[in-house]
Amino acid sequence: MSTLQVWALRCPMHSFIYIRRYSADAATESPLESVDTQNRWSATKISTLNPSRIRPTDHIDLSWKTQAALDFPVQTTIYPTIRYTAHRPPGQIHAEIPFPARSRGFLYYQSDPHAALAGSIRFRLTTNDSSSRGQDLRLPSGFPWQISLAQMAYRSEHAFMAEQLGRERLVTPEELTRCRDLFAQRKQIYPQYTLFGLHSTFLVNFSRAVCLTVVGEALHDLTMSNLFAVSRNRYFPWTGSAVARFEPSVFPERRVIHMRIVEILEPVACKVDAANYTGRVLQPQEGQLLTIQNPSGISGPWAYDIDNDRPTSKVAASLRVLWDNSPTP
């Protein structure tokens, strides 16, 4: 009779969880093994990542687990694992945050009709065994939890997820190879800061510079250090965070890009009195374009003309890639 044995092996770059079937007659007890470990790492059966083929039996509970091993129909001796997130408090090498309470629902692959490489695995929270309702699990930052295709293609601990997507024909070998080639030199991949087109949403913190990765034929670094700062002393008067996206101007005669605040995640507040505020960015409002004011007090949407505003800059080059990757406005 077979059972499961868990081996937790760590290396400097990644953490791997191996779950191997073995014969009970030939087994020897591992010092890593315990009742708690066996319960914690028992593999969860999943039949598909295709949202159109999800079954009621694919409804799983990840509540309070720091990691979960997945058992797909294809026989394997090593199961892929997923984590909620990890952080490193001062003085600790590695500390993991478990999935929140009521993390019950379905894993599925969300494809992007405008960018084949922008797909990701997400977790749809539902209270029952139907995947037609609910919302995606979020990280502590408020951005959706996800494992991007780039992460699956590039990072070895997600290789089995990529293989499953290939078996289900949700991605092609060419797309995986393209991701590996593009991100080969990146030590870390952050989906919340990776953009494929003007439709891509990203995480913005009003107390920091905007630092994004734009995906085209190559990777481009899009950095706007002073967007939310009082530029003469690099002071950031606003606090809070949001989901944002770039979008084209409604006027077709020029290629102008605006920024829309899609959703406020952390409440926005100003660290100075209104009478003493000298910054150009007005308070960000959910659902509205980011608004700035000039020295004369005239306000309007933040705008970047990608052909005329410092056209040789890295910002202009990155925004042109986003424009060219997007459907014609």
Binned at pLDDT 50, 70 and 90, residue 34 comes out as very low
Tens digits of residue pLDDT in 217-271: 999 999 999 999 987 678 899 999 999 999 999 988 899 999 999 999 999 999 9
Any bridge partners for residue 20, and if so which? 5
| Nearest to 142, CA basis, from 60, 262, 222 | 262
What is the residue-averaged pLDDT of the chain?
Answer: 84
Tens digits of residue pLDDT in 294-325: 888 899 999 999 999 999 999 999 999 999 99
Q: Which residues contact 238 (CB under 8 A, 6 or more apart)?
A: 206, 207, 228, 268, 269, 270, 271, 279, 281, 283, 284
Residue 1 pLDDT = 43
Residue 30 pLDDT = 31
Region 170-199 average pLDDT: 95
In the DSSP assignment, the letter for residue 138 is: B
Tens digits of residue pLDDT in 130-141: 666 889 999 999
- Alpha-carbon distance of 251 to 240, in angstroms, equals 31
Residue 5 pLDDT = 34
